[in-house]
Amino acid sequence: MTDRWTTRGPAQTRALGKRLGATLAPGDTVALCGDLGSGKTTFVQGVALGLGVAEAVTSPTFVLVREYRGRLPLYHVDLFRLDHIEDLEMVGYDEFVSGRGVTLIEWAQKMRERLPGDYVEVTFAVTGQTARTVVAIPHGPRAEQLVRQWHTPR
Ligand code: ADP
Ligand code: MG
């Protein structure tokens, strides 16, 4: 099952993320793809709301990963400036991706071979000044369950 939404404005992208965030469980991984400005960080802000994170979520571009405390730990990774895949080890990627939190990875296409066996891929595309299309593709049985729960009429 693939799912596709069109959002009109950042608030709708946040709302979409919030719905996903409400259903995430320990060990879930979400790979976020799409160009700069397509809405990946905006979406993560919504997921954080759905996980009950009180802090404001900002882009972790220069630090690779930020951790937030909500109902579950949220690891927000941004690989935009990743030059060497080995840098992932330095930030503890292997530990947290298989741990008790949930991991969201911007520019995940840069590390496709290091993604876990089961993850949801969400791709964002700019289709207008404030319009974005959001396409979710599940990779694995848990991801399929997540996408099914996430689905609502658009
Ligand atoms: P990315 O992390 O993919 O680089 P950001 O979420 O940081 O993208 O930025 C998206 C930008 O586009 C923000 O300035 C946001 O306000 C704007 N925007 C306009 N319309 C939308 C929309 N429908 N969804 C998400 N962001 C939108
Ligand atoms: Mg971003």
**Token pair recorded at residue 102:** 């949930």
User: For residue range 43-88, what is the model confidence (pLDDT) as tens digits?
Assistant: 999 999 999 999 999 988 788 999 999 999 999 999 999 988 888 8
User: pTM here?
Assistant: 0.96
Q: Domain boundaries in the chain?
A: 3-151
Give exposure, 82-116, as e/b (b: 16+ Cβ within 10 Å).
beeeeebeebebeebbeeebbbbbbbbebbeeebb
Assign domain 3-151 to a CATH class. Answer: alpha beta
Q: Which residues contact 113 (CB under 8 A, 6 or more apart)?
A: none
Query: Does any ligand 1 atom lie closer than 6 A to the CB of residue 41?
Result: yes
What CA–CA distance (Å, rounded) separates 10 from 42? 7
Query: Does any ligand 1 atom lie closer than 6 A to the CB of residue 40?
Result: yes
Query: Does any ligand 1 atom lie closer than 6 A to the CB of residue 42?
Result: yes
Ion ligand 2: residues, Cβ under 5 Å: 40-41, 59, 106
